[in-house]
Amino acid sequence: MLGGIVLLAPASPLRAQQIGAMPLGSEIKGFSMPQRNTAGEMEANIAGETAKAVSISRTAIQGLHVDLYSDGKVASVITAPKCDFWNLERRLSGSSGVAIQRADLQIRADSFDWDFKTQTALLRNNVHVGLGKFIVGVPAASAASPSSASSAPAAPTAPSTAPTP
């Protein structure tokens, strides 16, 4: 889980306190903010082309790019041309498109909400999902187990042609 996110961190070494106090209407270009867990391992990197303080609770972001890490490597990437970060709710939302990519999965949608507290997404309107390594049928482990044979439906049989008494 991403804890204590301060989304607006520029690529230059400004302190988070300076970023949190930025005046309404001010803009940061080329921001990037690594997110690490308590063990110091990389969990995510949140970056964007620009971020503008629109209100106390809302930051408008252009060119969002989020790398999500697993075992020290980028496992998933979230991109959006523009979206809003709701500071108090720790939530991203956008309606100009989003793409989520992983080695075995690609998702695109017109609009989205991403909750950093629960690490869940709600995708809406024109949602497309592409699955890689998708195996149709019974997984090999299940087919080999004796219990699966007894619970599998019986194969259909041909109708009987014998006369009925």
pLDDT digits (tens, 9 = 90+) for 52-93: 989 888 889 999 998 988 888 999 999 999 999 888 887 889
What confidence tier does 123 reach under pLDDT thresholds 50, 70, 90?
very high
DSSP-assigned letters across all residues of 64-86? EEEEEEETTEEEEEEEEEEEEEE
Q: Can you point out the beta strands (E) in 37-131?
A: 42-53, 58-70, 73-86, 91-94, 98-102, 105-109, 111-115, 120-124, 128-131
pLDDT tens by residue, 23-55: 788 888 998 878 788 888 888 888 999 999 898
The CATH homologous superfamily for domain 16-149 is Lipopolysaccharide (LPS) transport protein A like domain (2.60.450.10)
Confidence at residue 80, expressed as pLDDT on a 0 to 100 scale: 95
Torsion of CA 43, 115, 14, 56, to 10 degrees: -170
Residues recorded for the chain: 165
Nearest residue to 76 via CA among 109, 108, 45, 101: 101
**Per-residue tokens: 93:** 């939302």
| Residue ranges of domains in the chain | 16-149
Q: What is the dihedral of CA 55, 124, 3, 64, to 10 degrees?
A: -60
With cut-offs at 50, 70 and 90, classify the pLDDT of residue 15. very low
Q: What percentage of the chain has pLDDT greater than the value 70? A: 68
Q: Given a cut of 80, is residue 12 above it in pLDDT? A: no
